[in-house]
Structure 1
Amino acid sequence: MAQRHRDHLPEDFSERSLSEDVRSGLTSSPKTLPPKWFYDKVGSELYEEITRLPEYYPFAVEREILMARAPEIVSAAGSHHLIELGSGSSEKTRALIEAVLASTPDGEQAAYRAIDVSESALRAAAEDLALRYPALELESVRADFEHGLAEALAVDEGDRTGGRLVIFLGGTIGNQNPQQRQRFLATLHGALEPGDAFLLGADLVKSPDVLVPAYDDAAGVTAAFNLNVLEVVNGRLGADFDPRDFRHVAVWDAENAWIEMRLEAVRDVHVRIADLDLEVDFAAGEQLRTEISAKFTRERLAAEFEAAGFDAAGWWTDDAGRFSVSLWTVAARALT
């Protein structure tokens, strides 16, 4: 089956984005870095290890829901054209792809579009999927859906029939603060058409006794994953961070209903970032926030989606109610 690849990003996109994020984040108060920079080769390998840890439930539980409910989800969405935001390896999506292939009427074409900023991830996933599912029409799009969502979702009308199912898995929406989610959902709503649907994987609020260990495991893998972002800045921007000057911290913020991962300076630290001609000081005890991971209730998600113009169309969780997969469609009524 035909494969297509489109690149919506300039060649220097990653380098320029990292430079902008490091400069703005390390000169702000409090200091921050976005979690997308965790995933160099070492970080990606550490994350794969995290997904196998006993404390880290989200990956396995979301996959469990999709494996059990994929045919029901696809039937409710009524689509045989999948589009995945932040597709990565597309591993968990295979259950949905198989359900789409099984339900696509004769004479029509099942299709999957993977959208990610990583060229290597897109290429590797496309090669694997082409071998596994030769009847599937594949398209990979290198794009930054945080800033180019509408463009990444655009499609020529002649390229498809029926509605699209846009997928956003892994609880990644939790990395956005409420204002960012509001903008994301508004842009998504504007890019979708009648008959399209949106499938979201979102982690649910639960006891901090469960949440905090998921981000601060006993084996220290998440700590190594968090500290590795300093090595990313060192290697790509000529910085001289010493990871031994920092320790990993994970805290539950009950007011905002999110986990924060931070790096805390264990002593006074002076860092030079040569490529940016930037020097940064950390006082002992000062923290650099590297991730927020918001947790949701069904009611909170419904309120945010309704405000953005969506209707609820499906809700699935594991038996313990730890994680959710939900389906949303463009509201038929006009917003007031």
Structure 2
Amino acid sequence: MASAVHFYDQQPIASGARSMREEILEGLRAPQKYSSPKYLYDQRGSELFELICQQPEYYPTRIEEGILATMVDEIANLVGQNATLMELGSGASRKVRLLLECLQITSYLGIDISRDFLLESTRKLAEDYPWLEVHAACADFCQRLRLPRNLNCERLVGFFPGSSIGNFEPSGAQAFLGGLHRTLPKGSGLLIGVDLLKDRATLEAAYNDAAGVTAQFNLNLLHRLERELGANLDPDRFSHKAVFNEELGRIEMHLVSTMAQVISVAGESFRFRAGETLHTENSYKYSVAGFQAMARRAGFASRAVWTDRQQHFSVHYL
């Protein structure tokens, strides 16, 4: 590991975390089988997600980056100088590059669950910005976070792009924001991307790209279960499905069993009917007012919000 990156393993950062085995088995035992979306993000899953962001149908990344690039001076005025930026779900750390120099950030902490991908992206960040103090924490940010002791937290700004807040159930999203509010020191800020409600066609196209990258991303979960939990299954017997649930205001991603079959995971057997699904991800969509109300209930005050002309995506400073 490059000496310029200060790395922290997951255990010092997160507490009370359950193992992947425990969570996957719990989901497979449920009447509606499910898996947490965080398990979509191993090394291969993270690489595939970066490819998803490049697909023409996937508007969130393109629009959010446009907002950040256009509004960076306003964001800098709100953040102030010499702040530490903490990015949740940092991935390839691409969007943060739009902010680093203009915001005059002194140190950066990237938090991601995919260890190898996190190390690779933060090494590149340290190489490209030699003046920046770079920290990396392999952690599940859905769990309670403890900030590294040697991180400068006098002026700390959270950065949560990509509308990942939509992967939480609404009650969980508010609880997550409340926990983040308690973690951030007094006087801190949060810059967060939030996808907005829109027409079904646009939403469903974004999660069913013509190149099939999202399908590969979803199906990669099964390969991960084979590799890490000794699962006995055939990924070719499942297909990708993403639909907009208008009543609940969310995109749902599922893996659909194409036939009646029995799979085994970590020594337990699970029966799938033909057409039965494993629910792998939700992505809730909000109105600007609805998200601001949630943030207020979590303890945050809204300072600014920016959207694109079509009102497809929003970036908030809280």
Q: Which TM-score applies when normalising by structure 2?
A: 0.92
The reply on whether 1:285 has 2:285 as its aligned counterpart is no
Q: Which residue of 2 aligns with 1:93?
A: 96
**Structure 2 counterpart SS, 1:145:** coil
Contact 1:164–1:196 (8 Å) recurs in 2: yes
TM-superposition CA deviations, 1:56-75 (whole Å, max 9, x none)? 11111111111222221121
Residue of 257, 261, 266 corresponding to 2:258: 266
Q: Which residue of 2 aligns with 1:191?
A: 183
Contact 1:9–1:144 (8 Å) recurs in 2: no
Q: Which residue of 2 aligns with 1:173?
A: 165
Shift of the alpha carbon at 1:126?
2.3
- Give the residue type in structure 1 aligned to 2:117: A
Which residues of 2 match residues 320-335 of structure 1 at below 5 A?
320-328=310-318
Q: Which residue of 2 aligns with 1:295?
A: 285
**In structure 2, C-alpha distance between the alignment counterparts of 1:50 and 1:295, rounded to whole Å:** 18
The reply on whether 1:141 has 2:128 as its aligned counterpart is no
The reply on whether 1:312 has 2:308 as its aligned counterpart is no
**Structure 1 counterpart SS, 2:142:** helix
**In structure 1, C-alpha distance between the alignment counterparts of 2:34 and 2:289, rounded to whole Å:** 29
Q: Call closer, same or farther: CA 1:282–1:81 in 2, change over 3 Å.
A: same
**In structure 1, C-alpha distance between the alignment counterparts of 2:10 and 2:153, rounded to whole Å:** 24
CA-based RMSD of the aligned residues comes to 2.1
Shift of the alpha carbon at 1:2?
5.5
**Structure 2 counterpart SS, 1:45:** helix
Contact 1:154–1:191 (8 Å) recurs in 2: no
Which residues of 2 match residues 124-135 of structure 1 at below 5 A?
124-135=120-131
Residue of 44, 47, 56 corresponding to 1:45: 47
**Structure 1 counterpart SS, 2:144:** helix
Q: Which TM-score applies when normalising by structure 1?
A: 0.87
Contact 1:212–1:252 (8 Å) recurs in 2: yes
- Give the residue type in structure 1 aligned to 2:120: A
Residue of 64, 67, 70 corresponding to 1:65: 67
Shift of the alpha carbon at 1:221?
2.1
The reply on whether 1:84 has 2:80 as its aligned counterpart is no
TM-superposition CA deviations, 1:8-49 (whole Å, max 9, x none)? 428xx9x96220121001001100011122223332332222
**In structure 2, C-alpha distance between the alignment counterparts of 1:167 and 1:161, rounded to whole Å:** 14
**Structure 1 counterpart SS, 2:31:** coil
Shift of the alpha carbon at 1:271?
0.5
Q: How many residue pairs align between the two structures? A: 312
**In structure 1, C-alpha distance between the alignment counterparts of 2:119 and 2:239, rounded to whole Å:** 35
**Structure 2 counterpart SS, 1:32:** coil
**In structure 2, C-alpha distance between the alignment counterparts of 1:256 and 1:179, rounded to whole Å:** 13
Contact 1:245–1:265 (8 Å) recurs in 2: yes
Q: Which residue of 2 aligns with 1:209?
A: 201
- Give the residue type in structure 2 aligned to 1:42: R
Contact 2:160–2:193 (8 Å) recurs in 1: yes
**In structure 1, C-alpha distance between the alignment counterparts of 2:10 and 2:18, rounded to whole Å:** 15
Shift of the alpha carbon at 1:184?
0.7
**In structure 1, C-alpha distance between the alignment counterparts of 2:213 and 2:120, rounded to whole Å:** 25
- Give the residue type in structure 2 aligned to 1:66: L
Q: Call closer, same or farther: CA 1:141–1:225 in 2, change over 3 Å.
A: closer
Q: Which residue of 2 aligns with 1:243?
A: 235
25-34 or 224-233, which deviates more: 224-233
Shift of the alpha carbon at 1:162?
4.3
Contact 2:79–2:103 (8 Å) recurs in 1: no
**In structure 1, C-alpha distance between the alignment counterparts of 2:161 and 2:204, rounded to whole Å:** 21
Contact 2:46–2:91 (8 Å) recurs in 1: no
TM-superposition CA deviations, 1:71-125 (whole Å, max 9, x none)? 2112112252111111122111011112122xx6xxxxx1111112232223212
Structure 2 residues not aligned, in runs of 5+: none
**Structure 2 counterpart SS, 1:93:** helix
**Structure 2 counterpart SS, 1:42:** helix
TM-superposition CA deviations, 1:120-178 (whole Å, max 9, x none)? 223212221222111112222222221132x1x3656xx53742111111111110001
The reply on whether 1:255 has 2:240 as its aligned counterpart is no
116-125 or 58-67, which deviates more: 116-125
Q: Call closer, same or farther: CA 1:2–1:124 in 2, change over 3 Å.
A: closer
Q: Which residue of 2 aligns with 1:111?
A: 107
**Structure 2 counterpart SS, 1:30:** coil
Q: Call closer, same or farther: CA 1:267–1:119 in 2, change over 3 Å.
A: closer
Contact 1:71–1:96 (8 Å) recurs in 2: no
* Identity across matched positions, percent: 39
